[in-house]
Amino acid sequence: MSVKLASNTIPNQHIDKLSKWLATYPRLTKASETLKFEKAFSNYIDVNYTRFVNSGSSANLLLAAANLFYRDLPNKNIAVPAISWSTTLSPFIQLGYNPYLVDCDPINLGVNIDHLYSVIKSENISTLILVHVLGHDSNIEKILDICQERNIRLFEDTCESIGSTYKKKKLGSFGLASTFSFYYGHHISTIEGGAVCSDNIDFIELVTSLRSHGWSRDLSKGLARKLQLEYSISDFRNLYSFYYPGFNLRSTEINAFLGNLQMNLLDQYCNKRSEIFDRYLSNLKEFWSQNSSCDFLSAFAYGTLVANPDEVWEFLKSKDIESRPLVCGSMGLQPFWKELKGEPLSFRYADQVHKYGIYLPINADMNVNDVNLVCSEFKKVAIPYSFK
């Protein structure tokens, strides 16, 4: 019996429905299915606006770009968690920001509050992007207070945490804007896909324009008309006038059609992930475990620390059980950061995650027997490690 890190959340019946829908020869570029999916996802996260894009990475790119045009950005100094993902950090590098990495919290693996304070004070940070690691909230209440006190723009990378809640409020609904991923193996899948969510109409209008070349045709009528008049653009030229230096990051109706079907399964998938996390927690009491203040945890995977991760990985692989580094370790130790800065950047806790972190499978196809098998084999070789 094999246990995979991820499973295909798209069941065969969804593919069958997609095939039947395609046989009606619908429009395949962005249209009604996209709008329907955006509305459904907004309702789920409880935000005013969602914009569907072609990946979670593209969603982060749009955050980085829209932030440059949203009101008067005081500076381009941004705090980014050391425990994150390459495309949480790289869009800000690509767009000329000054990124400052922040060490992780040794309990939830999110942003370390003490180190964040230090970075904010020394570097005059204007923007912070959080990562809710593997479904756990990142000290969200304390961070909101800090951002309000310091007038810092807060973004949430929620690509690993769809469905998790803090005080009954969905992660991804706290900051100025948030991002999500619908890639294979995530909580739901649109094959490839992602989203930007926000309650702020001005920010989401920027995202909307930047998503599609920088033109105004998808904007609200009032803003589109205002831009046209401001730049003295005729009706003839307006559809092909570009008000921002945009991209083409749209997804398709095919992806959105699947997304609409997947929304019917999202709660079921999230509940299953929560149950599997609890089973790991009860089976692996002697090992460090990630914890947080979530009142509902929609876990992406089960993260822990071992003194011998390479050995554990090899052994589990021999038993046809997948495992992997905990997310991807520390950004400060990644090759592209070393090339950018000329040297690695070391942190007390993030370095330990990089060296000793491993995560075990959680997916909606797993059952109790799968978890018991993983834990049994894991404990045969894994040597417990805790933060120092």
Residue/partner pairs of 264-269 with CB below 8 Å, 24 or more apart: 265/9, 265/11, 265/188, 266/44, 266/162, 266/163, 266/187, 266/188, 267/163, 268/364, 269/9, 269/163, 269/187, 269/188, 269/364
CA–CA dist 388, 357 (Å, integer): 13
Instruction: Decide if 12-262 and 266-381 have a common fold.
Output: no
> Of all residues in the chain, what percent carry a pLDDT higher than 70?
100
The reported pLDDT for the residue numbered 77 is 98
Residues 228-255: pLDDT tens digits?
A: 999 999 999 999 999 999 999 999 999 9
3.40.50.720, 3.90.1150.10, 3.40.640.10, 3.40.50.1170: CATH of 12-262: 3.40.640.10
130 to each of 109, 139, 201, 261, 352, how far by Cα in Å? 11, 10, 21, 29, 20
Return the amino acid letter for 192.
E
CA–CA dist 98, 153 (Å, integer): 15
Residues 182-212: pLDDT tens digits?
A: 999 899 999 999 999 999 999 999 999 999 9
Residue in this structure with the two tokens 């070393």, named with its chain if needed: 338
C-alpha R_g of the chain: 21
CA–CA dist 132, 314 (Å, integer): 28
Residues 56-82: pLDDT tens digits?
A: 999 999 999 999 999 999 999 999 999
> Of all residues in the chain, what percent carry a pLDDT higher than 90?
99
The reported pLDDT for the residue numbered 1 is 76
CA atoms within 13 A on the CB side of 296: 15
CA–CA dist 315, 130 (Å, integer): 34
90: pLDDT confidence band, cut at 50, 70 and 90?
very high
Helix (H, G, I), strand (E, B) or coil at 263: coil
98-107: average pLDDT = 98
CATH dotted code for 266-381 = 3.90.1150.10
SS3 content of the chain, % helix, strand, coil (to 5): 45, 15, 40
Cite the beta strand spans of the chain per DSSP E.
Answer: 49-53, 77-81, 98-102, 127-131, 153-157, 165-166, 169-170, 177-181, 194-198, 302-305, 324-325, 357-360
21-36: average pLDDT = 97
Domain boundaries, the chain: 12-262, 266-381
348 to each of 325, 332, 378, how far by Cα in Å? 18, 12, 26
Residues 297-345: pLDDT tens digits?
A: 999 999 999 999 999 999 999 999 999 999 999 999 999 999 999 999 9
For 167, other C-beta atoms within 10 Å of its C-beta total 10
Residues 213-224: pLDDT tens digits?
A: 999 999 999 999
